[in-house]
Structure 1
Amino acid sequence: MASSSGRATAAPGLEPGRPAVADSVEAAGRPPTPPWALVLLGALGAAVLAAACWTADHVHADPLLLAVARFLHLAALIVGLGSVLAVDWFAILWTLGRRSLEDVLRTACALQMPIWLGLAGLVLSGLFLRPDLASPLTLIKLGLVLAVLFNGLYAHWLGQRLRHVHTRPVPRRLLIQSGIAATVSQSGWWGATAIGFVNSQP
């Protein structure tokens, strides 16, 4: 963090002499995910979403299956969005100087799997919810889901760069990129949720 006078100040838990986050990660021998792998995952995710849309147009669920799908859809939303909110809340506390960068990265790492499981659950359960693919709102929702997918991969890449920051304060460029990623994430999740609610109304 930087004080109003421009001097660098240590965030809580990052006192001089304490091993930085990057040191612990490098010691564990975990190299960053190569960019080509993230691009491949993004393309695969887009293909899965397209296949889900095609399948949803050919699936006709009975009332019982429809009720189960709605429950699973809501459960996936709670898991995914709840995990995203937790990560972003820790990030806000970090910007206020009440948590260390290490706390934020540990939380993001711990909740990474629930976030992706929640997103996958939304897509899979959505197969049986009779989405109207001719509706502009539905198309916007699918665009938001795709944005959340790509942004999640970008946030993963960004988190690895933050783990390898050896200097404090964190470079402004990474702070701006983190803020943009958080904004896209919140906008995507809440936007898709709002559209889903509107579409569910009789």
Structure 2
Amino acid sequence: MSAASHLQARPADRRQQTLWRIAAVCLGWYAVILASVHTHPGFGVREVALGVHLVSLTLGFGAVLAVDGLGLAVLAGRARVGALLAFSARAERLIWTGFVGLALSGIALRPDFASGWTDANLVAALVAAVNGVLAQALRSGVPDVERLSGWRELPAPLLWRAGAAALVSQAAWWTSILIGALTG
């Protein structure tokens, strides 16, 4: 379904699509864990995977930071809500490409499943991914009339949900980054 047709979907249809996407994220997360347990990369593969991991982090988290930075510009009155929504829709592909790159390259990094740090990192990744699905649903559920309004004109529940999504995103990404840096 295209982004335009997704915007026109009924709320019940959007909820169902969101639930299916969350289920797909959870299945993908589990598949990455299974692949990590059963994959034994050969000599030199870990170094290549680490390079892919860092490029994917730069791509995915860089796009997240850009979206959140534009969100701060909207709050400061320096950008419009419509610009933020359009930019975040375009950045979504970069975010998910980076995220999938992190997950796939992480398989070859031989995570230590006996470590609580690995568990925490996996949970942070799952939280970031599910939050990304929910943030996309939140963005696509903003009525067209609100796309051009200033942020002060948006309904308070929408603002709270958007703020919570940004905070959860930052917390999950930074948790995963810090764990990766500490356990590298």
- TM-score (structure 2 length as normaliser): 0.89
Match status 1:148 vs 2:125: no
CA RMSD of aligned residues (A): 1.8
Q: Do residues 189 (structure 1) and 173 (structure 2) align? A: yes
* Alignment check: 8 A CA contact 2:7 2:141 kept: no
- When residues 178 and 165 of structure 1 are mapped into structure 2, their CA distance, relative to the original with a 3 A threshold, is farther
Match for residue 109 of structure 2 among 125, 129, 142: 129
**Preserved contact between residue 105 and residue 163 of structure 1 (Cα < 8 Å):** no
Give the drift of 1:162.
2.6
Higher mean displacement: 31-40 or 100-109: 31-40
5+ residue gaps, structure 2? none
d(CA) in 1 for partners of 2:31 and 2:82? 38
Cα drift, residue 54 of structure 1 = 1.3
Between the aligned partners of 2:177 and 2:80, the Cα distance in structure 1 is 31
Does the C-alpha gap of structure 1 residues 35 and 64 become closer, same or farther in structure 2, counting only changes over 3 Å? same
Match of 1:37 among 3, 8, 17: 17
Name the SS for the 2:113 alignment partner.
coil
Q: How does 1:19-58 map to 2 (within 5 A)?
A: 30-32=7-9, 34-58=14-38
Q: Deviations over 1:58-86 (max 9, x none)?
A: 21112321111000000000000000000
1:98 equivalent in structure 2: 78
> Which of 45, 54, 70 matches 1:65?
45
Q: Which runs of 4+ in 1 moved over 3 A?
A: 163-168
Give the superposition deviation at 1:164.
3.3
Residue 170 (structure 1) aligns with: 154
The total of aligned residue pairs comes to 175
In structure 1, C-alpha distance between the alignment counterparts of 2:65 and 2:6, rounded to whole Å? 29
Bigger radius of gyration: 1
The answer to whether the aligner puts 1:114 opposite 2:94 as a matched pair is yes
The alpha carbon displacement at 1:29 in A equals: 8.5
For 1:79, the equivalent position in structure 2 comes to 59
Provide the C-alpha distance between the structure 2 equivalents of 1:94 and 1:162, rounded to a whole number of angstroms: 16
Aligned twin of 2:164 = 180
CA distance in 2, matches of 1:185, 1:120: 16
- Percent identity, aligned pairs only, is 31
